Chains A and B, each alone.
Chain A
């Protein structure tokens, strides 16, 4: 058999890919496989991430429980994506899916990230209040540290900053 890419060298590598029951075969020589390596690899990479994710998401469904039927019918009202479709594709359809599938997401995020709650950057406009609340929290932490270290002057400064910030938050 000749390599189907260059049609010149004999094919020594044979790939069979089955996606949703659809079978594709690739017969390549070593050189072409190398050249194509990039592409093939990305294909399989994407597939494995996919696969892994939907494996994670379907984890619960392997254990038959009573509310299973209602979970299966979980659907995002904004974009129409069902939880089942999400579990299969590993992709949310819109930002509202995060709310729609919320009851199922904590275990999922814990498995992927070992965590369920964001602690990084907050956008200035969309996050307005959130940003202030986070600032407040970090000031409070700092206050506690200052008191423990008996740095009372610094603590007094921080206390004033906290009062300012609380006023700002209260006035919206």
Chain B
């Protein structure tokens, strides 16, 4: 398959990177957890009970109001290869838990992949809306709408005091997890991340690096999300996250400006070296690729590099993950083969940039 065609199929809406503040906020995500009454949670349910849950969700998605939202496809985990599941995880469309742990797990995926409804994960239903850029409210509006449509047919487990009942007590109440993925290279370079991390913890939010181990964030990508789901309304949770994320965006912009004023030549050197390496490397590990792509993206955002489109970081961060690389190659690869393949994919992707 040609890279161009593969990309067309591989790139989800959120990776295209068009959206408000998309120079810093890569994507906004809302996930809400729901369960059906009189069905044990997936952990304790029998296979036939789980199949009944899938049937009910299919039924609810047959409503006209749902059909108007676009085309959806139901994908059962048992029908996918390990590699295909891995690709869906790398695109953030399903959770590792659904892919690896669930019995009778399935996902209802929208055509542009901005909606994925997981069935029989830890909870019966998890509605996820993933939008490019800073669009938390838009994502919530859509998730809320789908929830309302489903509720017309499905009997949700709900309690006046505890709200929506979920398998894990950390999700009870609203069942909502709102998160924004941000690219924060300047805050990392100016060593301000630790200060920000500890401040965020104090307002009921949590930050983690994505694609990385522990606190280390690969490609300077961080995800900020709410911890508390009970006792605050959805609106409060989203407003809180939005205002904190807004402040981080401002801080990152300020740090970028300072870097440009105080050490422009050092920054240019860093960006251009990384660009050169991405254009010419023959072997590259995922960690280095992530860092170089982050540098390149920063260079694009600051106008140091002009002939490369900004969504390259979003796309290549996902496409250079092990699952994707193997899917693209159509075979299992050893880590060394992957490093070689990764370098080639990046080179080819940059060539397409120059020809278009």
A126 to B167, CA, bound (A): 19
B168 and A91 within 8 A (CB)? yes
* Docked complex Cα distance between A29 and B339 (Å): 14
A88 CB to nearest B CB, Å: 12
For B268-292 the 0/1 string (1 means CB < 8 A from A) is: 0000000000000000011100000
From B166, B204, B285, give the contact of A31 (CB < 8 A): B285
Interface size class of A (residues with CB under 8 A): 35 or more
Does A26 touch B at the CB level, under 8 Å? no
Could you tell me if B229 and A113 are in contact, using CB atoms closer than 8 angstroms?
A: yes
Inter-chain contact A34/B286, CB cutoff 8 Å: yes
Flag B226-249 by CB within 8 Å of A: 1 or 0 each: 001111111101000000000000
Contacts of A5 on B, CB cut-off 8 Å? 335
Contact partners of A130 in chain B: CB under 8 A: 160
Q: Is A122 an interface residue (CB 8 A)?
A: yes
B168 to chain A, nearest CB (A): 6
Interface string of B122-138 (1 = CB under 8 A from A): 10000000000000000
Q: Tell me, in angstroms, the Cα distance from A34 to B164 when the chains sit together.
A: 38
Beta-carbon contact of A125 and B41 below 8 Å: no
Q: Is B212 engaged at the interface, CB distance under 8 Å to the other chain?
A: yes
Q: Quick one: which of B144, B156, B173, B338 contacts A126, CB cutoff 8 A?
A: B156
B43 contacts partner chain A, Cβ-Cβ < 8 Å:
yes
Contact of B254 with A by CB under 8 A: no
Give Cα distance in the complex from A126 to B156, angstroms.
7
- A34 with B285, Cβ < 8 A, contacts A5-B335, A117-B161, A120-B233 known: yes
- B217-233 interface bits toward A, Cβ cutoff 8 Å, 1 = contact, 0 = none: 00000000000111111
| A168, chain B: closest CB distance, angstroms | 18
* CB of B5 within 8 Å of the partner chain: no
With A114-B228, A120-B163, A121-B174 as known contacts, state yes or no: A126 contacts B158, CB within 8 Å. yes
The 7 closest A-B pairs by CB, nearest first: A115-B231, A118-B163, A95-B157, A113-B230, A120-B174, A120-B233, A37-B213
